[in-house]
A and B are shown apart, each in its own frame.
Chain A
């Protein structure tokens, strides 16, 4: 915070003028990029439909009311499937993520090359959305819950491994040295020196990821990979709006409950 001496005494300013200019240039570049992006998007927009949107919203909202509560009978199965996709997907992800995390952590990796491969797996699985995984898996194993489960599992490997290997790199090395000094092999060091230190992280990451996966598994049905998304897609396609609003309510409830449960468990662990 510079103070500039003027004829009328010292003047307080928040920033130096160079810094002020840099910030202005940053804003200018940012606004130019945003304006250009806006132009490109608006060129591809049919504005008639956008002007029509408020009417459409009112129309669909009135058609959605009241939610068809009778339809709930047919939704218990899909909700159960959705939760299964999330849970078993998370288990698959954790089972695969823990060894990959050990291979990717600087202090436990057997070789630099192995670390590079493990990091590549982490980045590649993380960058491909679960919907894309589901799209491909539906082709391979056929439509249904299995495709969704594997898709959620694959998508989560990267996210879980990343958090786990960071935890492995931050462990207390003294405990591992103590185990090493007893003459333990490398596997025993990992089992008795490292694993107990990261167990709370493993549990925390698993629950955290499960919460994300419940949300993610509600949409996989759009490409045919099971769960409540199948019903959502079907109801939207036949314009059964009262069923759609019921499904949205169910998703809202499921996600809230899963968030509550995961917050409670994480609170208990940490």
Chain B
């Protein structure tokens, strides 16, 4: 049918029925709506700030903070600037993030593999662990550790004595601090030399096996080199490392490495909670390896250990890494709950105290969100790269 034979109203309507016209119109409308909402918010904000006589500025960063922080991994006192306080909070967040990620990975892998164990009791215990801690809010677990458990510890005067001079009390866990003598440098050198020797040994062993088919226990000898060389050096040099135990003052300890109870509660809660999720990720990843792979590996005569290392784990990792990344990022984001139990992380330092002191809500909240957003995006970019490297390359 020719267009000219169409009734007149159909011709008119056809303009709006054109997909391209509609696509452009929809996008223009959506964009206009977003711009309008944004403009409305900005005008409101500007009017409110005007009325309250506030100007957006980061000038307060250079002012004296004037408050103390519970845990200062970098030099800080109450004469430092707000910028310094911000950095202290950031470092505190990263400390929790790093410790938490390492411990949660170890515990999560153990529990996840435990759930698949042929040992009935172990599998049940792992299941109970996962189902218990996954279904209780993290915040509840944090306040439980901080307010119900760690407060039951004895006072500093009756601190529990642990081996090597460490003490555990309501003031926290105090570890002896290592005091290194200059000769300790050689132990580090020996460690690096051990790694290099193990690497060369591995290359030589692989080459020999490829040529002659003879195997060499490169893994165990390599491990012995990496750890044996530094230990040997350490003993030969007459143990150039002293331990300085914490000393009890009137109410608290000085010296040593303090782990404040807030940090302990935060790490404990985060690790136990996140490990439950990591365990499920690991279990899912291992179950995702087709049974045929395992059967084929056994059929070509690989031992069960080699099957695990060379067949199951490399394939399981492909399924594990993306969700594992999410769990790591969740752990770091969740560490912001520190604010509820008084650990001075980024949110605790910056938002609670700085916001209360300066009243600069917009700047403070925006900076805090930007930091987390940056960590999240950087984390996912890094893991995507890593994932691309281990992904299956199909022909």
Say if A and B assemble together: no
| A interface residues (Cβ-Cβ under 8 A, vs B) | none
| B interface residues (Cβ-Cβ under 8 A, vs A) | none
